[in-house]
RNA sequence: CGGGGAGUAGCGCAGUCCGGCAGCGCACAGCGUUUGGGACGCUGGGGUCGGAGGUUCAAAUCCUCUCUCCCCGACCA
């Protein structure tokens, strides 16, 4: 491609709205252009990056016998009603009506449509297993898009769905997609780790997220360097400290004027925060057992004062759809006092009381007294109150003990670039996607779903590979592999002639060349070259031409050298091969190492 | 949805407090000089000042309403 003909623009100045490096660079390099919050155009250079990644995805999906399909972006409401997600999902789903006033939604994901496809085609166990995938647009009306391409509303996702006869089949497939995902990310030059994750609205029995570690990540992960345990903070477990056994002492009221936080309480009484109990008031949206309709339920959660409530764990414990903080009037309505909340003396008929399992075994805690400016000393679970649910509802954090080996957990930030779910029969059972087994009995197909967001992958790769001057794209996903810079001037037309010839030679040799034939000064061309991050830069100027060489420079490390013009195409191809090999070699190592941590349910 | 910031030329911004010709830099077009890390000179084009309403002789500027974008939080398949 001649750069003089390329539809692109580079920005000299850093866009003021962009905070993180990948966002700034994608805008400055002219890969994408925003048209609304979380909605972007892909320009030709960005499109080429996207296409490269998609080809890697196709190769890895095909390698595990995936078959590519394309399913619609506009879905009839009926299919989403069959699984209940039409009602269960809120404003994140964009809905529309057609001219006949029928309901439709924009695709957030494709479980329903894939399940519908499977039930239309599958009737016999002989047709199973199989895996289908697509690379298709999703729309999720995020409340707040952020971080450039990290959290957007419209995006392209490669989503794959597996269909098996039974859980054993799914369990056998799961490690294969797990490994294929590692291959995809590493081929894109992106290091990721897999962590256990919440199944969320997807449902199912097991899920992993693939996380690119970066400070700009939205998720907190907990890792154990000793044994390899890794989990999203949303579900991460940890070994809780054993409280010292002590005989329950008599409960006593203590005056604590204006002491309405744990920190203040700890300071006021001169006790560690670990000897206090913290009350958290929430309203949960749950399904009413009798009517089946959603209703709001007051939830009183108690955790130790030095720990944080984990709302995902609590949501799962309650089987709730969502939680929100309770308002002061709602808190008073159940007989509690904000800032001095206590599980003792509340209207239990209107409250679901959930207590962290550590609280249940910790003697003589300080808790609120449910009246302003008073707390209780020596509150003991069992003697003073009992809960509706006792389970783990606190968040793991930096330094907590690993649940497997007891080693210290480390907290890091990550971007979720992919996820895999064992769905089981949630969708097939709801939608009647069944097959007949050897005995002629109808059984629901066992499913899994597996997704990777392309834009987020690009942004994460750029977060990982850039410097002050621009992108240092891994050669496998760079828009072009070689940038040929001509430094011809009006006085050196012979440079143009030779550069033109080299461009043709390289292109005919199959090299993806971007040819900077623009009438710009050298500085402009070099700065654009660094910004775009084409991995191999060839520079031809009058001096080099006289010596019969072109300068070659690697973007990733700045190494320079000279290549004779007579064998340029061959030498460049060798460099490209070497650069690709660098990445592929890493793939092999990473894959072997990571497959050890793969887990399957049995 | 809560808190904060911002909408003025393609991009980055000043002007708004204190109403009075809509400006600067980059980019763009023409001419000339330059030419290995974002050149220089001269000339030129480009604006419903986010939108609507109001106050005023006069509104980018004051008032009311509204839309949009960015950041933090809530949310996040």
**DSSP-assigned states of every residue in A232-281:** ETTT---BPPPPPP-PPPPPEEEE-TT--SHHHHHHHHT--GGGBEEEEE
Q: What is the DSSP letter of A401?
A: B
A311 touches strand B (CB under 7 A): yes
Q: Among all chains, which residue has been given the structure tokens 């992958």?
A: A457
The values of phi and psi at residue A346, to 5°, are -105, 165
Give A3-18 pLDDT, tens digit per residue. 999 999 999 888 888 8
Asked if strand B contacts A94 at the CB level, meaning under 7 A, the answer is no
Distance B11 C1' – A34 CA (angstroms)? 14
Q: Is the CB of A12 under 7 A from strand B?
A: yes
Instruction: Using the CA of A539, give the nucleotide whose C1' is nearest.
Output: B36
CB contact set of A440 (below 8 Å; sequence gap of 6+): none
pLDDT classification of A323: cutoffs 50, 70, 90: confident
A549 Cβ contacts chain B strand, under 7 Å: no
Q: Tokens in use for A96?
A: 């529309």
Distance A35 CA to B53 C1' (A): 28
Are the CB atoms for A475 and A537 separated by under 8 Å?
no
ipTM of this complex: 0.94
CB contact burial A142-155 (16+ within 10 A = b; e otherwise): eeebebbbbbbbbb
Identify the residue with better confidence: A230 or A587. A230
Work out if A80's Cβ lies within 7 angstroms of strand B.
no
Q: Retrieve residue A486's tokens.
A: 């001509």
Q: Residue A550: which nucleotide is closest by CA–C1'?
A: B36
Could you list the beta-strand ranges (E) of A392-445.
Answer: 409-424, 434-436, 442-444
Average pLDDT, chain A: 92
Q: Could you tell me the pLDDT band of residue A201, with boundaries at 50, 70 and 90? A: low
Q: What is the pLDDT of residues A519-563, one digit of tens each?
A: 999 999 999 999 999 999 999 999 999 999 999 999 999 999 999
Give the nearest nucleotide to A202, CA to C1'. Answer: B77
Question: Closest Cα partner for A204 from A420, A434, A424?
Answer: A424
Q: How far is the CA of A519 from the C1' of B35 (A)?
A: 10
CA atoms of A70 and A63, how far apart (whole Å): 19
Q: What are phi and psi of A122, to 5 degrees?
A: -85, 135
Among residues A312, A293, A290, A288, which one has the least CA distance to residue A301?
A: A312
Percent of chain A at pLDDT exceeding 90: 81
With contact defined as beta carbons under 8 Å apart, do A183 and A175 qualify? no
Alpha helix locations (H) across A270-339? Answer: 311-318, 328-333
CB A88 within 8 A of CB A287: no
Q: What is the distance in angstroms measured between the alpha-carbon CA of A211 and the sugar C1' of B13? A: 38
Give, for A156, the enclosing helix (H) or strand (E).
Answer: strand A154-164
Q: Which residues contact A374 (CB under 8 A, 6 or more apart)?
A: A253, A254, A255, A256, A340, A368
CA A450 – CA A122 distance, rounded (Å): 20
Of A216, A213, A211, A187, whose CA–CA distance to A25 is shortest? A216
Q: Which of A570, A555, A558, A547 is closest to A498 using CA atoms?
A: A547
- Please tell me whether the peptide bond between A341 and the residue prior to it is cis, using omega within 30 degrees of 0: no
Work out whether strand A252-255 and strand A374-379 pair parallel, antiparallel, or are unpaired.
Answer: antiparallel
Express each pLDDT in A108-123 by its tens digit.
Answer: 999 999 999 999 999 9
Please count the other Cβ atoms lying within 10 Å of the Cβ belonging to residue A4.
11
For chain A, what percent of residues have pLDDT higher than 70? 97
Residues 353-382 of A with CB under 7 A from strand B: none
End-to-end CA distance of chain A: 53
As given in the structure block, the two tokens for residue A220 are 């907190």
| A247 burial via Cβ count (<10 Å: 0-12, 13-18, 19+) | exposed
Q: For residue A561, what are its two tokens? A: 């050298």
pTM here? 0.92
Residues of chain A (123-152) having a beta carbon less than 7 angstroms from strand B = 138, 140, 142-148, 151
Q: Any idea which of A86-95, A216-225, A281-290, A305-314 has the lowest mean pLDDT?
A: A281-290
Q: A4-13, A45-54, A115-124, A288-297: which range is least confident on average?
A: A288-297
| Nucleic strand B within 7 A of Cβ A414 | no
Task: Say which residue, A598 or A357, is predicted with more confidence.
Answer: A357
| Torsion sign, CA atoms A51, A54, A55, A56 | positive
Alpha helices in A297-431 (DSSP H): 311-318, 328-333, 426-431
List, for residues A585-599, the tens digit of each pLDDT value: 765 544 433 333 333
* Residues of chain A by 3-state class (helix, strand, coil), percent to 5: 30, 30, 40
Q: Nearest 5°: phi and psi at A473?
A: -60, 135
Does residue A553 reach within 7 angstroms of strand B, measured from its CB?
yes
Chain B positions with any atom < 7 A from a protein CB: 1-2, 11-13, 25-26, 34-39, 68-77
Task: State the Cα–Cα distance between residues A374 and A237, nearest whole angstrom.
Answer: 33
């Amino acid at each position: 491609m001649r750069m003089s003909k390329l539809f692109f623009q580079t920005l000299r100045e850093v866009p003021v709205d962009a905070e993180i490096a990948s966002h700034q660079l994608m805008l400055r390099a002219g890969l994408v252009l925003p048209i609304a919050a979380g909605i972007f155009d892909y320009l030709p250079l960005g499109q080429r990056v996207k296409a490269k990644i998609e080809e890697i995805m196709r190769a890895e999906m095909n390698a595990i016998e995936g078959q590519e399909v394309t399913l619609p972006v506009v879905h009839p409401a009926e299919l989403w009603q069959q699984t209940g997600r039409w009602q269960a999902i809120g404003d994140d789903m964009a809905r529309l009506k057609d001219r006949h006033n029928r309901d439709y939604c924009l695709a957030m994901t494709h479980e329903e449509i894939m399940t519908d496809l499977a039930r239309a085609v599958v009737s016999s166990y002989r047709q199973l297993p199989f895996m289908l995938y697509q690379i298709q647009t999703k729309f999720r009306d995020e409340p707040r898009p952020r971080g450039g391409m990290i959290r957007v509303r419209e995006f392209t996702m490669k989503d794959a769905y597996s269909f098996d006869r039974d859980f054993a089949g799914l369990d056998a497939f799961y490690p294969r997609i797990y490994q294929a995902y590692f291959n995809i990310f590493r081929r894109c030059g992106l290091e990721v780790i897999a962590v256990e994750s919440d199944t969320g609205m997807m449902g199912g029995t097991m899920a992993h997220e693939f996380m690119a570690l970066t400070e700009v990540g939205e998720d907190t992960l907990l890792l154990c360097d000793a044994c390899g345990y890794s989990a999203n903070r949303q579900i991460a477990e940890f070994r809780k400290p054993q409280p010292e056994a002590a005989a329950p002492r008599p409960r006593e009221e203590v005056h604590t004027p204006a002491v309405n936080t744990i920190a203040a309480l700890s300071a006021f009484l001169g006790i560690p925060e670990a000897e206090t109990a913290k009350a958290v008031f929430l309203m949960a949206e749950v399904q009413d057992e009798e009517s089946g309709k959603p209703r709001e339920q007051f939830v009183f959660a108690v955790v130790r004062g030095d720990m944080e409530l984990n709302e995902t764990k609590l949501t799962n414990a309650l089987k709730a759809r969502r939680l929100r903080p309770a308002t002061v009037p709602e808190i008073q309505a159940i007989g509690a006092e904000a800032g001095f909340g206590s599980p003792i003396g509340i209207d239990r008929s209107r409250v679901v009381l959930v207590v962290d399992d550590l609280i249940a075994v910790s003697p003589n805690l300080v808790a609120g007294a449910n009246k302003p400016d008073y707390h209780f000393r020596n509150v003991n679970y069992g003697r003073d109150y009992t809960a509706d649910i006792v389970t783990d509802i606190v968040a793991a954090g930096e330094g907590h003990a690993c649940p497997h080996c007891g080693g210290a957990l480390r907290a890091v930030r990550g971007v979720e670039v992919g996820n895999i779910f064992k769905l089981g029969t949630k969708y097939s059972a709801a939608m009647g996607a069944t097959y007949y087994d050897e005995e002629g009995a109808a059984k629901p197909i066992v499913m899994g779903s597996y997704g990777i967001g392309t834009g987020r992958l690009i942004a994460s790769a750029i977060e990982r590979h850039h410097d002050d001057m621009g992108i240092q794209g891994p050669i496998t996903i760079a828009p072009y592999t070689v940038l040929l810079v001509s430094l011809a001037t009006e006085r050196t037309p012979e440079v143009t002639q030779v550069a033109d010839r080299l461009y043709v030679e390289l292109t005919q040799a199959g090299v993806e060349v971007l040819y900077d034939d623009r009438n710009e000064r050298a500085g402009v061309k070099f700065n654009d070259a660094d910004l775009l991050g084409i991995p191999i830069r060839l520079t031809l100027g009058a001096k080099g031409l006289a010596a019969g060489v072109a300068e070659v420079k690697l973007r990733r490390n700045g190494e320079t050298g000279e290549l004779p013009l007579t064998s340029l195409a061959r030498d460049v191809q060798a460099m490209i091969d070497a650069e690709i090999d660098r990445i592929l070699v890493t793939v092999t190592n990473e894959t072997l190492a990571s497959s050890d941590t793969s887990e399957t349910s049995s």
